[in-house]
Chain A
Amino acid sequence: AQSVSQHNHHVILSEAASLELGCNYSYGGTVNLFWYVQYPGQHLQLLLKYFSGDPLVKGIKGFEAEFIKSKFSFNLRKPSVQWSDTAEYFCALPAGNKLTFGGGTRVLVKP
């Protein structure tokens, strides 16, 4: 069965700091991966997606993620965060008929 794990549950950092959120997956089929963001009080929105090809994927708002097959990882990065990046971030893996989410990472950016 497929699974997604996010090891950081809470991250607190200051504006302009760099951000990296970990995501590891387990799945035996073709791997597609997503990162979603949920701003306070809002629904989930797609940040970026990996289907195939270039393992470095660029998304909206300056986010990027790197797919490393050998490590079963798809870590999310942003070189310099802003206060408006305060949100919860979810890694997700579509597998068959299901979309499986990691437990989420809450990010608080202090101004």
Chain B
Amino acid sequence: NAGVTQTPKFQVLKTGQSMTLQCAQDMNHEYMSWYRQDPGMGLRLIHYSVGAGITDQGEVPNGYNVSRSTTEDFPLRLLSAAPSQTSVYFCASRGRGLRNTEAFFGQGTRLTVV
């Protein structure tokens, strides 16, 4: 059981470039989220999805797009990378229901924008 798989693990982008961070889960979870982690700021929610075809913004959505065409996949797109998007990005998934609110995290993607 792979859990939550993120690719790539490391990425360096030039300002203005675009890219997609991939996230896949094999637990049939309905909820998926993207967070960014910055020193001293904890984890901040970028976008989340409650099921295929349904996405919504978190607290720091600007500069990022998401889509959820399948239950398994939840890619995060950076449209035009900026140095302020240098961060570690985590994808998480969890099931629906009171007892399924525990989130499972991917290994993270360390992104540097130069």
Contacts and interface: CB of A to CB of B under 8 A. Distances in A.
Considering the complex of A and B, which 5 residue pairs feature the smallest CB-CB distances, nearest first? A103-B42, A94-B101, A101-B43, A43-B105, A44-B105
A98 interface: yes
B12 interface: no
A99 B114 CA distance: 31
A74 interface: no
B61 to A, nearest CB: 13
B56 A49 contact: no
A92 B92 CA distance: 13
A34 B58 contact: no
B56 A97 contact: yes
Interface of A: 6, 9, 30, 32, 34, 42-46, 49, 51, 90, 92, 94, 97-104
Interface in B17-55: 31, 33, 35, 40-45, 48, 50
A49 B45 CA distance: 20
A51 B99 contact: yes
A32 B101 contact: yes
Contacts of B42: 6, 90, 101-104
Contacts of B75: none
Interface in B65-114: 90, 92, 94, 98-99, 101-103, 105-108
A38 to B, nearest CB: 8
Contact of B92 (A9, A99, A100): A99
B104 to A, nearest CB: 8
